[in-house]
Amino acid sequence: MKTSIEISNLKNGLRVVAVPMRERKSVSVGIWVGVGGRDEEPRLSGISHFLEHMVFKGTAARTADQIKQEVEGVGGSLNAFTSEEYTCFLAKSASRHFEGVFDVLADMVRNASLKDEDIKKERTVIMEEIKMTQDQPSQLVGELLAEIVWPGHPLGRPLAGTLETVGRLSREDLTGYKNRFYEPGLITVVAAGDVDRKKLIQMTQKRFGGDAKRNGKKWDLFKKRQKGPDIKLFHKSTEQTHLELALHALPKAHPDEYALDILSVILGGNMSSRLFNEVREERGLAYDIGSSVRKFRETGAFIVSAGVDNHKLNEALRVIMKELEKIASKPVEADELKRAKEFYLGQMELGLESAMNQMLWAGETLVCLGRCLTPEEVIRKAGRVTAEDLRRVARGLFRDQALNLAVVGPVKPGSEKDFSRILSFSGH
């Protein structure tokens, strides 16, 4: 799977990336802005996400209805999302309509009108979104976990903000934030599919070339060191208890990141994983259980998530801790390691058959790493991971002082002591 990624830079610092896939008859395009939840000061919490919503509400040249009609009226689609480290505005269309759709997307990002009446209406929509998260234990538990994994830092705050912060955001806040961060040095345009690099550069130059490069942003790096396990409980009358167990882990581009990814596959990445088999299949303690890895510029987390029987939370936690301890003490067998690697790389390869996923891959790696990571590089590095690498990484990360537990459900007051006794590795 040889991927061709062509990167160019405009004079103002804006980057343009083309990922030609000649057999396609469509183009997926993203305008990436290198600003997200981690760049917000406390009083502006949620502003990146709010601004993402507002970009769809109209420009000087187009109303919100015209934006939708000009894209959907030619069979295309529009979307956007906000993360901790970037905001992405994306579209997909047939090749013959690409320039028109790109013009709409660029107009939205550059020229959003941010009218007071639109802000007032969208504020209500976002507040309902926040309430919906609070009503869904599987999502709420993730926000509670982030608070204790990255305490006192923007990474620990909810991306949508709170009812209080969103309720206070003004037009001046939104325009000031947009003027500060939506600048060429923080913008990357990526297109994958039936796309020509020279044509893409011309289109981007026409719509973004006149802007001047400014100073960019400063990184507020997370530096706190955890001294012991932390637990956060939220009592809610639910039919199932939701838990997330996290350990501080590795940042992006760490030499051991692929070992950790494969470790996560073995522990909870699919239906063949150890946690799925032990917690669900063998003991019937949960319907949903899995593990994942979160990576940021300077920090990260390894997370186990589960929805368990209200009366079997302690038992499920003990089993999870036992499985983490086991993989840190005993080397993974060769066939299990091979299956995990094949799953990890196979999922990547299957995903990258899509032009949209190619665009997302190239955009995220360039925005976050400063370069486009190639699938060939991942295949090479993941292929080198050994059973001893997995055990070494597990032994280094699976430590008592790095443990964090968030629980949402009908937990009893004072249960922290019970959980504290469970949250301990006996030693590797």
The one catalytic residue among 23, 40, 41, 52 = 52
CB atoms within 10 A of CB 362: 27
Distance, C-alpha 288 to centroid of its chain: 20
Asked if 282 is an active-site residue, the reply is no
Contact residues for 36 (Cβ-Cβ < 8 A; gap 6+): 48, 82, 83, 84, 85, 86, 87, 159
Distance, C-alpha 176 to centroid of its chain: 25
Tokens representing 198?
């020279």
Q: Is 329 helix (H, G, I), strand (E, B) or coil?
A: helix
Residues forming beta bridges with residue 59, ordered by sequence position: 112
Nearest to 182 by CA among 60, 39, 362: 39
Residues forming beta bridges with residue 410, ordered by sequence position: none
Residues forming beta bridges with residue 89, ordered by sequence position: 31, 80
Distances (CA, A) of 28 to 2, 101, 203, 318: 19, 10, 15, 45
Tokens representing 86?
């970037």
Q: Is 388 helix (H, G, I), strand (E, B) or coil?
A: helix
Give the torsion through C-alpha atoms of 346, 347, 351, 357, to 10 deg.
Answer: -120
Ramachandran bin of 152, using left for φ above 0, alpha for ψ from -120 to 50, beta for the remaining angles: left
Distances (CA, A) of 1 to 378, 386, 421: 12, 23, 49
Could you tell me if 411 and 235 are in contact, meaning their C-beta atoms sit under 8 angstroms apart? yes
Contact residues for 76 (Cβ-Cβ < 8 A; gap 6+): 91, 92, 93, 94, 97, 101
- Outline where DSSP puts E strands in 11-143: 15-20, 26-33, 77-82, 87-94
Q: Which residues carry out catalysis?
A: 52
